[in-house]
Structure 1
Amino acid sequence: MMPSNINTGNGSNPQATYLECMKNENVLKAFENVRREIYAQADASFYTLLQSGKDKNAAKQQLKKVIVDVMSKEPSAIPLNRAQKDAIVNALLEDMLGYGPIQPLLDDPEVSEVMVVRKDLIYYEKNGIIYKSDITFRDEEHVRTIIQKIVSPLGRRIDESTPLVDARLPDGSRVNAVIPPVAIDGACITIRKFGKKFTAEELVKSGSIDEVSLELLKKFVQGRLNILIIGGTGSGKTTLLNVLSSFIPPTERIVTIEDSAELQLQQEHVVRLEARPPNIEGKGEITIQTLVKNALRMRPDRIIVGECRGGEALDMLQAMNTGHEGSITTLHANSPRDAISRLTVMVLMSGQELPHKAIKEQIAAAVDLIVQVARMRDGKRRVIKMSEVVGLNTEGDVEVVDIMDFKIHGTDENGKIIGRLEPTGYIPSFLEKLAWYGIEVPVEVFQKKYKK
């Protein structure tokens, strides 16, 4: 069931604001008249105000005075009531200072993703569930204008010759935009919001993992296991990576490498690196693979790669095998065994002509633990599996054995899944490595009869 409005935290109803402006012809006509008049009277100070990002609330109050002043001096021949005038003011503020009709969705702390399918079809994800919104853009040009507003400050370009673009908002939210001819039904935008940093305690409280299992992962991180976090899109990989990274001792030097900066490490000794796409001339690209190679020259104790997608997988594996134990990365995969297959393909993408056997040996020697996360049918993101990479079996394939597996025991009256991570009975061989670093894990934790 779709909610009737979206809570922005200030008691207003932003959907009603835009519905009134976009669906009432008189209000829309008045909106366009006022907007046109504002830009016609604009001077340099007006554009400076629009570009001011230091104090958004102050800029909003100043701009509101400008809008109200224009509306009072240029009374429209169209009769408008107070509510309609307020709607026009709010719509203009969102258009000029924010990102148009989707700004209320971006302001809602409970909304994690905004998806513009076309000008009149917008969806959003809230608490793990996707809803259809009633808000719309005025027209196709309005969508294009908002896209340009997002990418222009970053020096990115989007047009018919380059109809795809990745960008990020000032708060770190990831943006992907696609326009025709690639997007057949019109320009579309996908925004993955930069959510608040989850603490370990909040992760347990949310039901994503139980306290005992999280304590296990904490020991695995402190014991310098090389960890691979896997899952589908939006399954919570980066959230878990942030939490696991918080367990790294503050005495260690960490280098993070990301395609789009999302990690929020709290340690002081952190070097953050971000990949860069090519410029308009097609030059200046800096790939994750290049950054991983460079990171090896920066004396890191641990390397954290936000996501492995291609040839950088080989450099990451080599880093794990050459004294940078305790490194962590993520990748898209639907199971631990699928992750091994994907890693193999990624290594082949590096351009190095390595035999499959050598690649499998690299993976088996480098990766200690695979942690799988998933967004389940009730919308909740959970850790559903922990698996050890044991080594190569007699057939030369990488052997993966599950340590913990999520068992579903039913659903409650609200449709929420009841279940937990349970030990499989397998005792991982890396306990000796943990002990070498002074980390003791009781064997009983891995026994099937162990009660959490």
Structure 2
Amino acid sequence: MRTSQPPASDQPAAPATDAGTATRPTAAAPTVAAAAPARAARPARAATTAAPAAPAKTAPTHLATPPGRDVVAPTSAAAVPAKGKPAKDRFDDLKGSVHEELLVQLGPKLYDANLTAAELEAMVRQALADVMAASDRPLTANDRQRITQEIADDILGYGPLEPYLRDESVAEVMVNGPFDIWLERNGKLVRVDGTFNDEAHLRRTIDKIVSRIGRRIDEASPMVDARLPDGSRVNAVVPPLAIDGSSLTIRKFATDPLTVQNLIDFGSMSRKTADFLEACVKGRLNVIVSGGTGAGKTTTLNVLSSFIPSDERIVTIEDAAELQLKQDHVVRLESRPSNIEGKGEVSIRDLVRNSLRMRPDRIVVGEVRDASALDMLQAMNTGHDGSICTVHSNGPRDTLARLETLVLMAGMDLPMRAIREQVASAVDLIVHQARLKDGSRRITHVTEVERMEGDVITLQDIFLFDNNAGFDADGRSLGTLKATGLRPSFLEKMAHSNVTIDPRTFVPESL
């Protein structure tokens, strides 16, 4: 096999290929080398001579991906693909040096438990101003302010996510790897330009979030549910489970929780429905709020809980504490995962059973998703009327089917009819919520759970969402929640709690 000769001293060297990229000698290579003197002698024809030879050059491997063939992403955290990585900021080197100098100056003071958040922020910003003033790099006032804010956000907060967490119009922040951040605004997903520096920067931010509430995340435990100090819910998944870099999802909750009037203004429910639900809560009915992911169940649960009289003892049970009840007598419980040795887990079911010994007037469960459904039904059937919980489902009938499935997860081997009798006896009302195509969150069903007829639980819709109005020019739903004209059978039960409902509440709007 012939090997290519080294270039002569008076000829330009061939362009070097990427490291580790092997190129096969081709017939075109000598042609290009031999044509070099001709191009020097005849510059006018150089372009035409070189053009045909260009396709013969071997492209680097990172550019020569065959059409239709996917590039397999690496699975290790250290080898996260750089696809989509933005251009390097011209101030990255300055931010890095200022950040390092700041850490050298402050050192362990950043972790001093005796410092309040306000004192720590004042100390960091003062040190940051000193370091920036000592820098000899000329900066405009806007650039100086931006760099100062970004470094402060990284040390005091959650780095690139801070601007979005401060933005009240943002409902959810979704991070799909270090270079891909999405937001939910007005029920719609929007991609933004903010990015992390790399995978390590994103992992430091995730560690900062989970460590503050005593949780951990690593290869041994690559998934975690946590919360921010303001109650926002956090879910994180890291490699090797997350293929394209760590995934972080933050469901924001407003500092000032939404009220029933807010939901009426947003069109989530009507005034008549709100008055009816308030009477149901005060009348100590057992209520289940159902719906899909992101449908607004927790917000509705918060509003319903606000109707509970302030002279009652309320016990809330959640995976990650999110409810923001304003009553005076509230006991908040939160489940706990197992430690690194696989011990110490306290489940929702354990907390529900324990709450029965705490003399509760009401039990509010953030979400029933496992065998705790059996204990919740037993609590509703043993004198703890007025309890409220949420369940994931697609509709009122599906809610009952899902409750049956969750009860079976308890492993008690109960007959299906016994389970359905428990459900029919315990649950009085299902409030189903959905997120519509236009992004709005609406209550679509307010349904009474009546009784067993044969082997089937009968349901009766009291309020139903009417889609007949269609959509406006901007694609927003014009539908409303309307009374069906049916009167619920639990009005007598509510009367025992001295709660009555105006009969006109159930008159359909069309009459």
- How many residues end up aligned between the 2 structures? 425
- How far did residue 333 of structure 1 move? 0.6
Which of 1 and 2 has greater Rg? Answer: 2
Q: Which of 193, 197, 212 pairs up with 2:252?
A: 193
Where 1:230 maps in the other structure, the secondary structure is strand
Where 1:26 maps in the other structure, the secondary structure is coil
Q: Does 1:67 align with 2:131?
A: no
Q: Determine the structure 2 residue equivalent to 1:94.
A: 153
Q: Determine the structure 2 residue equivalent to 1:148.
A: 207
Q: Does 1:364 align with 2:424?
A: yes
Q: Determine the structure 2 residue equivalent to 1:283.
A: 343
Mapped partners of 2:259, 2:377: distance in 1:
28
- How far did residue 401 of structure 1 move? 2.0
| Mapping of residues 424-443 of structure 1, within 5 Å | 424-443=484-503
Contact 1:156/1:280 (CA < 8 Å) preserved in 2?
A: no
Identity %: 50
Mapped partners of 1:147, 1:226: distance in 2:
38
Contact 2:110/2:120 (CA < 8 Å) preserved in 1?
A: no
Contact 2:352/2:372 (CA < 8 Å) preserved in 1?
A: yes
- How far did residue 250 of structure 1 move? 2.0
Contact 1:110/1:127 (CA < 8 Å) preserved in 2?
A: yes
Where 1:68 maps in the other structure, the secondary structure is helix
**Cα distance change, pair 60–348 in 1 and its aligned pair in 2 (3 A):** same
- What CA deviation, in whole Å up to 9, does each residue of 1:259-307 have, x standing for no partner? 1111122221222211111122222111110111111111212111111
**Cα distance change, pair 213–100 in 1 and its aligned pair in 2 (3 A):** same
Counterpart residue type for residue 207 of structure 2: Q
Where 2:189 maps in the other structure, the secondary structure is strand
TM norm structure 1: 0.89
Q: Determine the structure 2 residue equivalent to 1:9.
A: none
- How far did residue 47 of structure 1 move? 4.4
- What CA deviation, in whole Å up to 9, does each residue of 1:128-187 have, x standing for no partner? 222111101111111001011111222222111211111111111111111111000011
Where 1:411 maps in the other structure, the secondary structure is coil
Mapped partners of 1:414, 1:153: distance in 2:
43
Where 1:425 maps in the other structure, the secondary structure is coil
Mapped partners of 2:297, 2:265: distance in 1:
17
Structure 1, 252-261 or 23-32: larger mean CA deviation: 23-32
| Mapping of residues 19-418 of structure 1, within 5 Å | 23-48=87-112, 52-55=115-118, 58-76=119-137, 80-195=139-254, 196-394=256-454, 396-408=455-467, 409-418=469-478
Mapped partners of 1:42, 1:439: distance in 2:
61
Q: Determine the structure 1 residue equivalent to 2:14.
A: none
Contact 2:234/2:248 (CA < 8 Å) preserved in 1?
A: yes
CA RMSD of aligned residues (A): 2.0
Contact 1:386/1:403 (CA < 8 Å) preserved in 2?
A: yes
Counterpart residue type for residue 117 of structure 2: K
Mapped partners of 2:201, 2:168: distance in 1:
25
Counterpart residue type for residue 108 of structure 2: A
Counterpart residue type for residue 44 of structure 1: P
Mapped partners of 2:359, 2:132: distance in 1:
61
Contact 1:115/1:123 (CA < 8 Å) preserved in 2?
A: yes
Counterpart residue type for residue 420 of structure 2: K
Counterpart residue type for residue 102 of structure 1: L
Mapped partners of 1:350, 1:187: distance in 2:
33
Mapped partners of 1:308, 1:83: distance in 2:
50
Contact 2:296/2:433 (CA < 8 Å) preserved in 1?
A: yes
- What CA deviation, in whole Å up to 9, does each residue of 1:99-131 have, x standing for no partner? 000111111122111000111110011222221
Counterpart residue type for residue 93 of structure 2: K
**Cα distance change, pair 368–323 in 1 and its aligned pair in 2 (3 A):** same
Structure 1, 426-435 or 367-376: larger mean CA deviation: 426-435
Where 2:231 maps in the other structure, the secondary structure is coil
Counterpart residue type for residue 85 of structure 1: R
Contact 2:369/2:406 (CA < 8 Å) preserved in 1?
A: yes
Where 1:417 maps in the other structure, the secondary structure is coil
Where 1:410 maps in the other structure, the secondary structure is coil
For structure 1, the residue ranges without an aligned partner over 5 or more in a row are 1-21
Where 2:354 maps in the other structure, the secondary structure is helix
Mapped partners of 2:237, 2:115: distance in 1:
27
Mapped partners of 2:506, 2:425: distance in 1:
23
Where 1:285 maps in the other structure, the secondary structure is coil
Mapped partners of 1:99, 1:274: distance in 2:
24
For structure 2, the residue ranges without an aligned partner over 5 or more in a row are 1-85
Contact 1:27/1:80 (CA < 8 Å) preserved in 2?
A: no
Structure 1, 119-128 or 414-423: larger mean CA deviation: 414-423
- How far did residue 27 of structure 1 move? 0.9
Contact 2:286/2:385 (CA < 8 Å) preserved in 1?
A: yes
Counterpart residue type for residue 95 of structure 2: F
Where 2:91 maps in the other structure, the secondary structure is helix
Mapped partners of 1:265, 1:38: distance in 2:
40
- How far did residue 90 of structure 1 move? 1.4
TM norm structure 2: 0.79
Counterpart residue type for residue 464 of structure 2: D
Where 2:117 maps in the other structure, the secondary structure is coil
Where 1:43 maps in the other structure, the secondary structure is helix
Contact 1:444/1:450 (CA < 8 Å) preserved in 2?
A: no
Counterpart residue type for residue 96 of structure 1: I
Structure 1, 92-101 or 421-430: larger mean CA deviation: 421-430
- How far did residue 38 of structure 1 move? 2.3
Where 1:386 maps in the other structure, the secondary structure is strand
Contact 1:423/1:450 (CA < 8 Å) preserved in 2?
A: no
